[in-house]
Amino acid sequence: MRRKAWLFSGICLHYRALIPALLMCLCNWALPASGASRRVPLTLQAGDVVPTGNEWISLPDIRAVDGALTSFNAISMRDRGLLQVNGEHGAPVLQPYFMVGGKSLAFRNPSWDLIEYWIPSGRLVADGMEMTLTYCAPPGSRAAFLRMTVTNQRPQHESLTLGLRASWGSLSRVTYVPVELNGERTVGTAPWVDSAEAAGYLAHAICQLACKGEQH
């Protein structure tokens, strides 16, 4: 029996300030219809990374081995450079994960291709499950999003879980080299999304988590 679950998550920029956020993003319009899209397969090694982005935000190092996002940065007129977010103690900023029946399902060494030459998408079929990751930063939009799907190809029903582990370790200003900014991180209730938390840093940025998915 085929059952499919999906999850949207994204990184958004506020009009006046940098606001990296993990949130449900209704950006499905940014991906062409699957029947009409052009896909270019990539040949990658385990240590390679795949970049994408737009004129506002960059996702420079999506790991080919597991689809994790090591860092991201956004242009800042106030800081006359880029503001870059890195994970804590070398951890990626975003680490996608899949679970079946409460047990972890490894997403390792997926095949990668580019949708319309610039949208990286990873796919892996393992243990009767088809898993996909797609990162996209729509042109002209101060946002980027991650779309995750898993399709059950087993004959029986299974409980599926899709998620992201997020890590905010440091914020750096980048011109030619990153210079870490000193400050204090705080966590509180996000006022604009229900059931979410916001982490502030040096009054520059807010990190907010509100991922949402469906099964059908």
Which pLDDT tens digit goes with each residue over 51-103? 999 999 999 999 999 999 999 999 988 888 899 999 999 999 999 999 999 99
Q: What is the pLDDT of residue 186?
A: 66
Cβ contacts of 71-74, under 8 Å, gap ≥ 24: 72/11, 72/20, 72/144, 73/174, 74/13, 74/18, 74/20, 74/142
Q: Tell which wins on pLDDT, 16 or 138.
A: 138
Q: What is the pLDDT of residue 44?
A: 95
d(Cα 136, Cα 146) in Å, to the nearest integer? Answer: 6
Q: What one-character DSSP code corresponds to residue 13?
A: -
Q: Tell which wins on pLDDT, 46 or 49.
A: 49
- Largest interatomic CA distance in the chain: 56
Domain assignments of the chain as residue spans, ordered by start? 25-177
d(Cα 79, Cα 73) in Å, to the nearest integer? Answer: 12
pTM score: 0.78
**CA torsion through residues 18, 21, 27, 30, sign:** positive
DSSP string, 140-172: T-SEEEEEEEEEE-SSS---EEEEEEE---EEE
